[in-house]
Amino acid sequence: MGDDRRLAAVVALAQGMAAAHSSREAWRAAALGACLALGGSFAALSVWERELGRLRVLVNVGRRAEGEEEFPEDESYPVHQFAEITEFLHERWAGGGEPDAWVETAEGPAAGRPGYVHQRVAALRRRGRGCCVVAPIVLHGRAWGELYVARPVGERVFERPDADFATVLASVVAAGIAQTERLEEVRRLAYTDALTGLANRRAVDSALDEAVERHRREDVVVSLVVCDLNGLKRVNDTHGHAVGDRLLERFGSVLSLCGAMLPGALAARLGGDEFCLLAVGPSADEVVKAAEELCRRAAELELGDGVACGVASTEDPVGPVRSARRLFRLADAAQYRAKAERSAGPVAAGREGPDDPVVRLADEPSREEGGERRRFRGRHSP
């Protein structure tokens, strides 16, 4: 491959990774780009999971052998079977060298330079591949994983210039992975409450909109638990905000624990002393049961005065729920009643018959026009 074509291949790989919207897309773009650039028939990207002592395959692209999945759930290999990443690279770096790619062939020692480990040679033979080039991916000065590109039996064997080019490609892949990780961290922070580690209001806005849309399309049950942590102001005034923050963190842990009773539930802090649980799928009774457990555990916290908890579910007789705003108004009104009555347990909207006062409170015109006690801080339309 000429210099111009190789430069174009490097640019295409970098652009493919930059356009990715997730780690999976970035991995796939990296493997596909390297496969095309090196004229391979198959490529894989693997990460070295140090704590587990294994190389785990992230993606397989191109002509896959039987049993090879594009995004394998659990394709991994003990790192001692492919020890280059720990031994060979370390030896080179210790001598002042740089991490270079290397070539293996299905012929093994018969091809001249012996294969570094026989397991890789055996894998080539088992999958009908004639040769491969393996390039270490170095991120933040440490071996992160490896890029692997193979050709089938009968095609030209990779040579030293191919390995040198693979080393360049691996450095481009490393830069792309670093960029993807930074972007994902930014996205994670944008949807996470810094103090409690729960989802934040922005995450709830998005998830609740999607959930109500699913309810309208598929009639899936959507339930919302809204709660106020009682006594936070007293704790802040008496013991200081650092202690108040510990109370918020502790309650956040309790909310997460109770949310785990509802598969797929989103536990979130809306801001201040306000929290919520969003459940899509579980029945209204299951959600009320989780809310009861939440109230019980909150009452046992060393600080604070328990929690006021309101529940609203599309499965209960609350009338049509066509918007996220209405579901929140219902849960908010139920929580308001729980707080006013100093209820030890949750109040659920729609469970007091056709003239349920919680539903009437939620649907009062004054609340629609701006008089509601606390608006859902989103962009939901009425």
Q: What is the pLDDT of residues 360-381, one digit of tens each?
A: 888 876 544 344 444 333 333 3
Tens of pLDDT, residue by residue over 27-53, are 999 999 999 999 999 999 999 888 778
pLDDT for 115: 46
**Percent of all residues in the chain with a pLDDT value above 90, rounded to a whole number:** 52
Residue 99: CB atoms within 10 A of its CB come to: 20
| Per-position DSSP letters for 75-137, written without gaps between them | -EEEGGGGGGGTTHHHHHHHTT-----EEEETTGGGGSSPPS-HHHHHHHHHTTEEEEEEEEE
Question: pLDDT at residue 301 above 80?
Answer: yes
> How would you class 349 by CB atoms within 10 Å of its CB: exposed for 0-12, middle for 13-18, buried for 19 or more?
buried
**pLDDT tens column, 131-173:** 999 998 988 877 889 999 999 999 999 999 999 999 999 999 9
Sorting pLDDT into bands at 50, 70 and 90, what band is 109? low
Quick: pLDDT tens for 322-357: 999 999 999 999 999 999 999 999 999 999 887 888
In this predicted structure, the answer to whether residue 94 has a pLDDT above a threshold of 60 is: no
At 57, list the tokens: 């395959």
- So what's the pLDDT on residue 87? 57
* Sequence-distant contacts of 253-256: CB under 8 A, at least 24 apart: 253/196, 254/294, 254/297, 254/298, 254/301, 255/198, 255/227, 255/294, 256/198
> How far is residue 5's CA from residue 161's CA, in Å, rounded to a whole number?
14
What secondary structure letter does DSSP report for 186?
H
Percent of the chain scoring above 70 in pLDDT = 87
Query: Which H/E stretch holds residue 284?
Result: helix 284-299
For the record, the structure tokens of 9 come out as: 């291949």
Q: How are beta strands 347-348 and 307-313 bridged, if at all? A: parallel
CA–CA separation, 130 vs 105, rounded Å?
A: 6
Alpha-carbon distance of 121 to 252, in angstroms, equals 52
Mean pLDDT, range 93-105, rounded to an integer: 68
Calculate helix-pair angle for 201-218, 324-340, nearest 10 degrees. Answer: 120
User: pLDDT-derived band of residue 185, with 50, 70 and 90 as boundaries?
Assistant: confident
DSSP 295-314: HHHHHTSSSS--EEEEEEET
Of the pLDDT bands very low, low, confident and very high (cuts 50, 70, 90), residue 85 is low
**Over the stretch 219-272, which tens digit does the pLDDT of each residue have?**
999 999 999 998 888 888 888 889 888 889 999 999 999 999 999 899 999 999
Task: Tell me the average pLDDT across 80-92.
Answer: 59
The per-residue pLDDT for 368 is: 44
Q: With bands split at pLDDT 50, 70 and 90, how would you rate the model's confidence at 97?
A: low
pLDDT tens, residue by residue, 260-269: 999 989 999 9
Considering only residues 96 and 314, tell me which one the structure prediction assigns the higher pLDDT.
314
